[in-house]
Amino acid sequence: MSDIPHALAAVKQRIAESARAAGRDAAAITLVAVSKTHDADAIRPALAAGQRVFGENRVQEAKGKWPRLKEEFPEVELHLIGPLQTNKVRDAVALFDVIETVDRPKLARALADEMERSGRSIPCLLQVNTGREPQKAGLDPDSVDSMLRLARDEYRLPVIGLMCIPPADQDPAPHFRLLADMAARHGLAVISMGMSSDFPTAIGLGATHVRVGSAIFGARDYG
Ligand SMILES: *Cc1c(COP(=O)(O)O)cnc(C)c1O
């Protein structure tokens, strides 16, 4: 029934080829398998095939399936890749291992406070709205400097990288380039960019993490 192990292997193969073409080490690129909208039965074949890094975009949905899967597979690293409301910060810090979507001071503050309170410190990325799309989450590229000063230096949030989702209707390459340049300028090691349609391009431009959903799990009903 499940083509997931084959699809996963094919994506890994393409990551290896893209890395080779870019003169990069494929081991330096982490595949974040985006399992949003898919239930535990769809995720299990990926786990059985050895995949350990996953992405979810909704705290509530992730809470419904991941605590049990994480009990079975404690090495799983779960990334939050969707918007985070401050009233979900406690749940998010308890469940996720990386938060990729820090995009405003209030959220950075709430995360730092919760990590202090819970004693659970988890790495964070700043989400950058590289296309300056008004309806889209993420920091304006011009406010990344000040946000880093605030979140990392003042609130002591462990910010280790940047993440972006380019505008759907544009060539993603300039957006990937912009994100990689900003990460380099600030000495941030993690660059999360590239999805099913464009991850080879992202790897060519320096992605350390690619977030791939439909190419592994098939089409989503919503998402
Ligand atoms: C859904 C999603 C992905 C994966 O998208 P696909 O096109 O299915 O690979 C990547 N990043 C974010 C932030 C997403 O919400």
Q: Which long-range contacts (CB under 8 A, 24 or more apart) does 103-112 make?
A: 103/127, 103/129, 103/137, 103/138, 103/139, 104/139, 105/147, 105/150, 105/151, 108/147, 108/150, 108/151, 108/155, 108/157, 109/155, 110/86, 111/157, 112/151, 112/155, 112/156, 112/157
pLDDT of residue 219: 85
Q: How far is the CA of 35 from the centre of ligand 1 (A)?
A: 9
Taking CA atoms only, the protein residue closest to ligand 1 atom 4 is 213
Quickly count: other Cβ atoms within 10 Å of residue 86's Cβ. Answer: 15
Find the largest Cα–Cα distance for the chain: 51
Report the nearest atom of ligand 1 relative to the CA of 197: 7
pLDDT of residue 205: 98
pLDDT in tens, 44-75: 999 999 999 999 999 999 999 999 999 999 99
pLDDT of residue 1: 46
Q: How far is the CA of 165 from the centre of ligand 1 (A)?
A: 8
Low-confidence stretches of the chain (pLDDT < 50) are 1, 223
pLDDT of residue 220: 80
User: For the whole prediction, is pTM greater than 0.85?
Assistant: yes
pLDDT in tens, 68-109: 999 999 999 999 999 999 999 999 999 999 999 999 999 999
Best substitution site from 80, 81, 96 to test ligand 1's pocket, by max atoms within 8 Å of Cβ? 81
